[in-house]
Amino acid sequence: MSDDEREEKELDLTSPEVVTKYKSAAEIVNKALQLVVKECKPKTKIVDICEKGDAFIREQTGNMYKNAKRKIERGVAFPTCLSVNNTVCHFSPLASDTSELQEGDMVKIDMGCHIDGFIAVVAHTHVVQEGPVNDRKADVIAAANTAAEVALRLVRPGKKNKDVTDAIQKVAAAYDCKIVEGVLSHQLKQFVIDGNKVILSVSNPDTRVDDAEFEENEVYAVDIVASTGEGKPKLLDEKQTTIYKRAVDKNYHLKMKTSRFIFSEINQKFPILPFTARALEEKRARLGLVECVNHDLLQPYPVLHEKPGDYVAHIKFTVLLMPNGSDRITLHPLQKLQPTKTIDDPEIKGWLALGTKTKKKGGGKKKKGKKNEGDKADAEPMDASKTDAAAS
Does 217 reside within a domain? yes
Q: Are residues 179 and 290 in the same domain?
A: no
Share above pLDDT 90 across residues of the chain, in percent, rounded to a whole number: 80
pLDDT, position 69: 86
The CATH number of residue 294's host domain is 1.10.10.10
Does 231 reside within a domain? yes
pLDDT, position 6: 42
Does 123 reside within a domain? yes
Q: For residue 183, which amino acid is it? A: V
Q: Are residues 285 and 338 in the same domain?
A: no
Please list the residues that pair with 328 across neighbouring strands.
Answer: 319
Domain span at residue 294 reads 242-301
Q: For residue 386, which amino acid is it? A: K
Q: Are residues 121 and 138 in the same domain?
A: yes
Q: Residue 266 pLDDT more than 90?
A: yes
pTM of the model: 0.90
Task: Give residue-wise pLDDT tens across range 93-107.
Answer: 999 999 999 999 999
Q: Residue 256 pLDDT more than 50?
A: yes
- In this prediction, residues 77-83 reach a mean pLDDT of 98
3-state secondary structure the chain: CCHHHHHHHHCCCCCHHHHHHHHHHHHHHHHHHHHHHHHCCCCCEHHHHHHHHHHHHHHHHHCCCCCCCCCCCEEEEEEEEEEECCEEECCCCCCCCCCECCCCCEEEEEEEEEECCEEEEEEEEEECCCCCEEHHHHHHHHHHHHHHHHHHHHCCCCCEHHHHHHHHHHHHHHCCCEECCCCEEEEEECCECCCCCEEECCCECCECCCCCECCCCCEEEEEEEEECCCCCCEECCHHHCCEEEECCCCCCCCCCHHHHHHHHHHHHHCCCCCEEHHHCCHHHHHHHHHHHHHCCCEEEECCEECCCCCCEEEEEEEEEEECCEEEECCCCCCCCEECCCCCCCHHHHHHHCCCCECCCCCCCCCCCCCCCHHHHCCCCCCCHHHHHCCCC
Does 365 reside within a domain? no
Does 3 reside within a domain? no
Does 361 reside within a domain? no
pLDDT, position 79: 98
Q: Are residues 145 and 294 in the same domain?
A: no
Cα separation of the two ends of the chain:
51
Q: Are residues 162 and 212 in the same domain?
A: yes
Last residue of a domain, one of 259, 286, 301: 301
Q: Are residues 184 and 333 in the same domain?
A: yes
pLDDT, position 205: 75
Does 11 reside within a domain? no
Q: Are residues 78 and 200 in the same domain?
A: yes
pLDDT, position 11: 84
Q: For residue 250, which amino acid is it? A: K
Q: Are residues 286 and 310 in the same domain?
A: no
247-256, 290-299, 329-338, 377-386: segment of lowest average pLDDT: 377-386
Does 189 reside within a domain? yes
pLDDT, position 66: 86
The CATH number of residue 207's host domain is 3.90.230.10
Task: Give residue-wise pLDDT tens across range 317-361.
Answer: 999 999 999 999 999 999 999 999 999 999 999 999 999 887 654
Q: For residue 264, which amino acid is it? A: S
Task: Give residue-wise pLDDT tens across range 5-17.
Answer: 444 455 899 999 9
pLDDT, position 233: 97
* Torsion sign over Cα 249, 252, 253, 257: negative
Q: Are residues 137 and 265 in the same domain?
A: no
Q: How many angstroms separate the CA atoms of 59 and 298, rounded?
A: 27
pLDDT, position 283: 77
Q: Are residues 198 and 93 in the same domain?
A: yes
Q: Residue 364 pLDDT more than 60?
A: no
Give the confidence band of 275 by pLDDT, cuts at 50, 70, 90.
Answer: very high
Q: Residue 1 pLDDT more than 80?
A: no
Q: Residue 371 pLDDT more than 50?
A: no
Residue 4, class by beta-carbon neighbours within 10 Å (0-12 exposed, 13-18 middle, 19+ buried)? exposed
Among the listed residues 211, 228, 114, the one whose alpha carbon sits nearest the alpha carbon of residue 161: 211
Q: Are 15 and 101 in contact (CB under 8 A)?
A: no
Q: How many angstroms separate the CA atoms of 269 and 249, rounded?
A: 17
Exposure on the CB side of residue 176, measured as CA atoms within 13 A: 10
- In this prediction, residues 210-233 reach a mean pLDDT of 97
Q: How many angstroms separate the CA atoms of 333 and 125, rounded?
A: 10
Task: Give residue-wise pLDDT tens across range 94-142.
Answer: 999 999 999 999 999 999 999 999 999 999 999 999 999 999 999 999 9
Task: Give residue-wise pLDDT tens across range 42-78.
Answer: 999 999 999 999 999 999 999 998 888 888 999 999 9
- Between residues 254 and 368, the one the model is more confident about: 254
Q: How many domains are there within the chain?
A: 2
Q: Are residues 203 and 289 in the same domain?
A: no
Q: Are residues 218 and 285 in the same domain?
A: no
Give the confidence band of 386 by pLDDT, cuts at 50, 70, 90.
Answer: low
Residues 6+ apart with CB under 8 A from 62: 74, 75
- In this prediction, residues 26-36 reach a mean pLDDT of 98
Task: Give residue-wise pLDDT tens across range 156-187.
Answer: 999 999 999 999 999 999 999 999 999 999 99
pLDDT, position 357: 82
